[in-house]
A and B are shown apart, each in its own frame.
Chain A
């Protein structure tokens, strides 16, 4: 976990005002106790990504909201699929084969 000023110092194009705006918009969700904000490694990676999308790829605020929303949905879906896949993998071989056959049938 790192604080707000450390994060701003860590990521080059970032300034405190932009970070505050992204937090206000709900793009970044730091942990908060009293007045202090704490960013975990996922928050840092996310801020880095938003910086890249904004400063390098010039995605502006309105579009960014759409991009992040779709991205979050994509990852949520991938994690759900991952959970399902590992649950299937833990089944006996006969069950796995039945499921695989049923999935193939629907995909082709």
Chain B
């Protein structure tokens, strides 16, 4: 078997990502499922995959470089067989993946036979799917909603937004695509849902984050402050001696999910009065003169 470095067209000193890139480029050009019937491409792909199985793996590469295994050393440990999809795609007479795409890939060939034999296209193909996309408000994506939406093509769809929906999620509405031919099923509507951002709330996984402004007095003396959550306003208890950056957790006020709802994490932000008067300024400055502290000094540093 030929030298794996030669097969991938890389030098013996090539870095591992160089080898990976070379493999990807060659594999894309020769993948047997993408070149059905091309024996030469299939043979090339086998060589490329075997070469990469050795020098794409740091351990095996070291063994090969030191002469401990030869170029066929990796054949025994071949990854799952490449090119097995082709056997199915070529063998099954009425393959379901023909009709996946708008108009249906099978349609092309039906036209061919219709022309050849002067008969109507076989009219048994399921209607094509239609892709839609629309945006929902942040809160609706969290708590769920039912809505009727009229799409750009005039089609009205009743859409149930599931609670906890993620940005970019696709909802499949069965039978809402193109009608089928000759009494067969209609295709589906595939609706990609985008979630509008919220001015205050932010989502990470199943938790919600927000920042809530408080006064100096509320932070130091403790207070109840109203906070916007996905399920409406909630009174948040700010404990005494809180600070800017203090994080408070509202358990179960996050995104609902099967494994229990997430939390809502509130970060406090102390906001000084917009136009503090001399009394306020003097009292703070005098206090600090007596009790100096350095907030920029990291404790223990």
Contact = CB atoms under 8 A, between A and B. Distances in A.
Instruction: Decide whether A and B assemble into one complex.
Output: yes
Question: Which of under 10, 10 to 19, 20 to 34, or 35 or more describes the interface residues of B?
Answer: 35 or more
Q: In terms of DSSP, what is the predominant structure of the interface of chain A?
A: helix
A32 B40 CA distance: 39
Q: Taking each of A48, A59, A79, A82, which has the highest tally of chain B beta carbons within 10 Å of its own beta carbon?
A: A79
Interface stretch (B79-87, B146-154, B227-235): B79-87
Interface in B86-136: 86-90, 92-93, 95-98, 100-101, 105-106, 108-109, 112-113, 129
Contacts of B190: 24-26
Contact of B97 (A46, A53, A67, A82): A46
Contacts of A41: 88
Given A25-B170, A29-B100, A48-B80, A76 B109 contact: yes
Interface residues of A, number: 34
Contacts of B93: 79, 83
Given A21-B170, A69-B105, A73-B105, A45 B100 contact: no
Contact of B90 (A24, A52, A53, A79): A79
B194 interface: no
Interface in A66-94: 67-69, 71-80, 82-83
Interface of A: 11, 21, 24-27, 29, 41-42, 45-46, 48-49, 52-53, 56-59, 67-69, 71-80, 82-83
